[in-house]
Amino acid sequence: MTDKAEGTLLYLDGVNKTFDGFRAINNLSLVLAPGEMRAIIGPNGAGKTTMMDIITGKTKPDTGDVLFEGSTDLTRLDEAKIANLGIGRKFQKPTVFESHTVEDNIALALKARRGPWATLFHRTGKAEQDRIDELLTTTRLIDKRRFLAARLSHGQKQWLEIGMLLAQEPRLLLVDEPAAGMTDAETAETAILLKEIARTQSVVVVEHDMTFVRDLGVKVTVLHEGSVLAEGTLDAVSSNPKVVEVYLGR
Amino acid sequence: MITGFLLNGFDTRARVVFALLIAIAILVPAANLLLPPDHPLHVPTYMVTLMGKYFAYAMLALSVDLVWGYCGILSLGHGAFFALGGYAMGMYLMRQIGTRGVYADPILPDFMVFLNWKELPWFWYGFDQFWFAALMIVLVPGTLAFVFGWFAFRSRVTGVYLSIITQALTYALLLAFFRNDMGFGGNNGLTDFKDILGYNIQADGTRATLFALTVLAVAIAFALASAVTRSKLGKVLVGVRDAESRTRFLGYRVENYKLFVWTLSAVMAGIAGALYVPQIGIINPSEFDPANSIEAVIWVAVGGRGTLVGAIVGAITVNFGKTWFTGALPELWLFALGGLFIFVTLFLPKGIVGTVQAWWAGKRASAPAATLKPEPAE
Ligand SMILES: Nc1ncnc2c1ncn2[C@@H]1O[C@H](COP(=O)(O)OP(=O)(O)OP(=O)(O)O)[C@@H](O)[C@H]1O
Ligand SMILES: [Mg+2]
């Protein structure tokens, strides 16, 4: 489609989305290189979550290009197809399967065939069990494996959802406000975990917590009223007068 | 693969329920046929038939629980699949009457002669063969459910809207089957059956056999439903029930899962209807009444949604209650049913079986001697 998209992992160009006359996304362009981790900040209602909705197929944009790996047009695919292409997503409000055990939550997310017949006759093998254990260890939920997910604290649910995201083995992770509702210590640990993940996968993180964004130490994109206001290091964007005005002028 | 799948679904509780059902399937007919009428344990034939009817309802309830309890699809139209299975069986039974009808036409059922029809409509062909009727009992409800589900789930109709269109479905069928020119006996439906597979349908032996087959069918449906709900597919279904979008973003095509369980459930309901009709001796359009479908949902709610056993328990207890009530205080039954539903919703949200389970789990967890690790997942 566009030559500029070549060699990119995620390519958004001129994307617009209007809800009942309200412009939630306004001529948004954003490019993510393979292996990159990007932090997205912006005031409430800036369109951060809507952007993720568009990438993952939940919301169809009115106009604009949304390409994965330079050529796959994501606007034509549904959520399940996009997920199976290798784009995983953590919701802003932690969303896990509350009436399943922690372990089953991970098991359902594990990369495997997704059709009804495949799951109907599925048996959990040794390799899968090992992978589940590994992910439970990574997310520090190993001793809660038989708990119903409903019993986890808010922060633990966030971690479980990150664990589910990892279980999918996606190439691109979209993480919406992973530190919301966490203690400072948990927030710091989450930053470490995400940096660890970013060594092998591409990650887009939306977060309001500036300490957390600083911990990540990656390129920052500032969204405002549905488009990119500034892009660069955290120090650079936070001294940008336009950004200062958006954050302080409110 | 299949046996492994079925065995996987059999935990201790499922085994006990299955064994209990098999015991009922054997003991009740035995007590009816083998014990003399004055024996204290003798079960009279009318009782066998009544219980057979309850077990057919129990199978309908199981099918409702499968979609509602495990996938969150509140169907208020499952009676339609039940009635369609019933009609397919009724058509077979009609064609067995032959020349014994009032008009003694060897081919045409009485109501067609009465309407002055000269030949059998094409959709009645084949129903003189049991195997064909058996196929239709599965195919007609299954196909209707598949087509309905294909459109409804693909266009992502959910919640109350879906419930309403399932009501509309059964109501539309009710109106259609009322019409004489539909060719299903109109208002009167199909009745005056004589025999089934060559056996007199009124005979004690036939009735006892029909009862045994019905309970056996409930046992098999229960085993199948246990296996389905305990499989990974079953866990995906519960995921759809609790967090549909989460399931989608994990890469599961939700509409296919819904379609699978919906169609399976409709087939189950159809078989239940087919077992019901020869025991009741009639099938008419009132079986499509939307109120019937709602009643089936109430049985499941009373017994305990999402427990399978609860569906069976609920269907049987509520219908025993109904039989007693309609005998003693007929005009109050609907109020009693409504009251029961409100009571259960407010005070027993998990239903009978769900409440007992929670109580049992709580008792075990608080047991002092910690031989077992306390079960965190209640
Ligand atoms: N489905 C929808 N229908 C109507 N309006 C919507 C819809 N989704 C989002 N919006 C609106 O679009 C705007 C952008 O919302 P979005 O959730 O993307 O913001 P955000 O940057 O994620 O904010 P926050 O930091 O509060 O999460 C908001 O004003 C919101 O009300
Ligand atoms: Mg948001």
The pLDDT tens digits of the residues spanning A10-19 come to 999 999 999 9
Q: Does the predicted model carry a pTM greater than 0.90? A: yes
Chain A nearest-CA residue for B244: A97
Q: What is the pLDDT of residue A4?
A: 82
The pLDDT tens digits of the residues spanning A145-166 come to 999 999 999 999 999 999 999 9
Atom of ligand 1 nearest to the CA of A223: 21
CA A227 to chain centre: 18
Q: What is the pLDDT of residue B378?
A: 35
Residue pairs between chains A and B whose CB atoms are closer than 8 Å:
95
- Over B183-204, what HEC string results? CCCHHHCEECCCEECCEECCCH
Q: Which ligand is nearest to the CA of A24?
A: 1
Residue type, B304: G
The pLDDT tens digits of the residues spanning A196-234 come to 999 999 999 999 888 999 999 999 999 999 999 999 999
Sole residue written with tokens 């007929």? B330
- B153: exposed, middle or buried (C-beta count within 10 Å: 0-12, 13-18, 19+)? buried
Average pLDDT over residues B5-12: 74
Nearest to B64 by CA among B147, B133, B140, B163: B163
Q: What is the pLDDT of residue A14?
A: 95
The pLDDT tens digits of the residues spanning A72-101 come to 999 999 999 999 999 999 999 989 999 999
Average pLDDT, chain B: 93
Is the pLDDT at A117 greater than 90? The verdict is yes
Q: Residue B271: CB partners within 8 Å, gap ≥ 6?
A: B59, B85, B137, B138, B217, B221
Containing B372, the helix (H) or strand (E) segment is none
Task: Work out the pLDDT band at B25, boundaries 50, 70, 90.
Answer: very high
Q: What is the pLDDT of residue A250?
A: 53
CA B163 to chain centre: 18
Is the pLDDT at B374 greater than 50? The verdict is no
Q: What is the pLDDT of residue A246?
A: 85
Q: What is the pLDDT of residue A247?
A: 81
The pLDDT tens digits of the residues spanning B285-335 come to 999 999 999 999 999 999 999 999 999 999 999 999 999 998 888 888 889
Is the pLDDT at B119 greater than 50? The verdict is yes
Which 124-143 residues of chain A touch chain B by CB within 8 A? 124
DSSP tag of A101? B
Is the pLDDT at B371 greater than 50? The verdict is no
Is the pLDDT at B369 greater than 70? The verdict is no
Ligand 1, pocket residues at CB < 6 Å: A 19, 24, 42, 44-50, 92
Q: Show contacts of B374-378: CB within 8 Å, 24+ apart.
A: B375/A146, B376/A144, B376/A146, B376/A147, B376/A148, B376/A151, B377/A101, B377/A146, B377/A147, B377/A148, B378/A148
Which 170-229 residues of chain A touch chain B by CB within 8 A? none
Is the pLDDT at B236 greater than 80? The verdict is yes
Q: Give SS3 for A11.
A: strand
**A56 vs B: CB within 8 A:** yes
Average pLDDT over residues B6-26: 88
Q: What is the pLDDT of residue B363?
A: 82
Is the pLDDT at B51 greater than 90? The verdict is yes
Contact B48, B207 (CB under 8 A): yes
The pLDDT tens digits of the residues spanning B126-178 come to 999 999 999 999 999 999 999 999 999 999 999 999 999 999 999 999 999 99
Q: What is the pLDDT of residue B375?
A: 41
Containing A169, the helix (H) or strand (E) segment is none
The fold adopted by the segment(s) B2-364 is ABC transporter involved in vitamin B12 uptake, BtuC (1.10.3470)
Q: What is the pLDDT of residue B200?
A: 96
What are the boundaries of each domain within chain B? Answer: 2-364
**% of chain B with per-residue pLDDT over 70:** 95
> Ligand 1, residues A50, A175, A223: which to mutate, most atoms within 8 A of Cβ?
A50
Q: Give SS3 for B339.
A: helix
Q: What is the pLDDT of residue A6?
A: 87
